[in-house]
Structure 1
Amino acid sequence: MKQESGFRPDAYADDSNGGTWGLLQMNRSVWRGVHPEGADQTPPEGITAPMVHAHYGGIYLKNRLAGIKQLKAAHPGMPFAELDDLTALVIAHNAGESNLMRYPDIPNTTKRYLDNVKPAIDAGGGCSATAGRTIGKLTPPLVIRSGTLNVDVAATGTPVGKITTYATGQCTWWAAARRLQIGKPVDGYMGDGWMWASSARKIGYPTGGGIQLGDVASFAKGYLGASADYGHVAIVEEIKDDGSIVVSESGGGLPYAWLRTLTKEQANNPSITYIH
């Protein structure tokens, strides 16, 4: 993701195939293969939402790796079949299976790409996260699954089963459940994420001013990967000394939540309204 997008979920690059989006710089056709819903939109639905992109990007890479393993098994005498699976996957992702099969005669751009990511491949993976660690300053804090930024919803005790007016796996579903858990319930009919700001004002919930723990952050359409149609909402779990904030959020139909950190500049952009 660092090589593809610099970890920018809103990254876009124009090309002859109609462009690539998101953390893994996936094009419309590839995204449609794993997330057909809304794939004809521009940008395709969910492709710039970081955790949605990471989830479906993982499915894409898993499927592509399975195909590469089959290709290597079918051509055991060719040089590319001697590559480790991860190196072969990187080449195929960058240049396609046809160029992978020509290894070591691959495009120069792919050679440079491989040189850039090879240190990470050689280093292997690791994670310092511990099982059951907690994050945030709210009561209760969030319990985080080991090795991830995903919330262990059951261990946290968030009453997601009590939320019936917002669809499971949507940002509004999680925001309503988390607010209920921290003793600041919201109305069950506030609309899509971008609508929560105006709905809050109509209902009489305080908005604006400084960011507070437990606030609902209502994102304008398209801001920081928010849906271009529905906007987004998240919950402020922690405010750091440097002004950045940690939010919990869900979306894309995924029945769990995760963490994201917004810089001070991102958090204080007028495209976010805070509901206290």
Structure 2
Amino acid sequence: MFRYWDGKAWSASVSPTPEAPPPPGAPAPTPNAGPQAAFGDGSSTGGGGGTSWPLWIGAGAAVLILVLVVSFAFRTIGGEGPRNRPGAAPSESICPTGNTTPESPRAHPRDGRVHGGALSYPRLDAPWGPVRSDNRVPFGKDAYVQSVTTQETYAPGQSWQASIMVAELSAGDGFMIPEEASEVVVTCIVGAFYGENRVERNDIVSEAKSLDGHDGWYVESELSFDIKNLNTDGELLMVWIVRTSELTSSLYYASIPNDVRAEREPDARRVMEQLRVEN
């Protein structure tokens, strides 16, 4: 995605193409502003044009810069690998593999809640498993998950699970607005971690959803797939991104396989109702 630089700051909105006009309210570029001086004096480099490449670059007070704003993908199964979204190649350019460098754990209060980023929820009892850190979240930090195994070894070394996670998301110079961030996040999830299996995505909810006075965006999708030896043919995906500071957002994520939705979906919805932003 491309973000607009007006000479002083990055825009919150993004565009899929660099040719898009500046976002509403963006100031007009100033050809003689500081960026030009930084790149040269604008002398001619050849016949006909009269404008040098330094001057062209200097006008970069209003260029669109390709930035990797946010990408996030994870799956609580063993042996993750890229998967295809219908009609599209894997989104490897914006959805890199998870962070393999162990992160020093942050100090969180021992208050019976699961903390990740600036979010927390009451710890779930059995059959939900113990709270585990997860370092496979690209551009994610402080991620903690609880899971329930729904099918052991459906493939060698691989099990399928229902999962609930909270985490911090941070990237580069900050996040785009939650609505745009949610599309990148959901696309990464749907486009990266179901092997080579075709996955159909049907968004049933996509709406603004604030939490404790913080702007957010919530997406709920029904995913369908046909994976060899797997009992379930799909799952419910729940992604809630909350802008918890100027430079970071926090994430609530749940994936509930169809074959256990009757038992586990109420847990995921109850967690959402009890989610809170921690100061």
Q: Structure 2-normalised TM-score?
A: 0.22
Q: Structure 1-normalised TM-score?
A: 0.22
Select the structure of larger CA radius of gyration.
2
Higher-RCO chain (CA-CA 8 Å, sequence separation at least 6): 2
Larger strand share, 1 or 2: 2
Larger helix share, 1 or 2: 1
